[in-house]
């Protein structure tokens, strides 16, 4: 377990993803957006990030997007 509650990933100065506990959420970007969730992964059961479960876990995505 990590002593940190939240990890934030940046790429080229822009938010790319957030990780909290077993969840990792990725954000898509275009020139006019602040980023919207594009993928949510349960790293406890899918360490390879093969199955996007965003549509099944909207409450988790909403919490991580804050």
List for the chain the helix, strand, coil content (%; round to 5).
15, 40, 45
Q: Please determine, for residue 50, whether its predicted confidence score (pLDDT) is greater than 90.
A: yes
Those residues with Cβ within 8 angstroms of residue 16's Cβ, 6 or more apart along the chain or in another chain: 9, 10, 26, 27
pTM recorded for the entire structure:
0.81
- Torsion angle in degrees (nearest 10) through CA of 44, 45, 47, 48: -160
Residue 1 falls inside a structural domain: no
CATH number at 34 reads 3.30.1120.10
Q: What is the tally of structural domains in the chain?
A: 1
Residue 2 falls inside a structural domain: no
> pLDDT digits over 17-44, tens only?
999 999 999 988 765 556 788 999 999 9
List the domain range (segments joined by +) for residue 45: 7-65
- Give the C-alpha separation, 52 to 13, whole Å: 25
Banded pLDDT at 49 (limits 50, 70, 90)? very high
């Amino acid at each position: 377990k990590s002593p940190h509650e939240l990890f934030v990933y940046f790429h080229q100065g822009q938010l790319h993803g957030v990780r909290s506990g077993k969840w990792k959420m990725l954000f898509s970007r275009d020139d006019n957006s602040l980023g919207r969730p594009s993928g949510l992964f349960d790293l406890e059961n899918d360490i390879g990030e093969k199955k996007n479960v965003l549509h099944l876990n909207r409450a988790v995505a909403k919490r991580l997007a804050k």
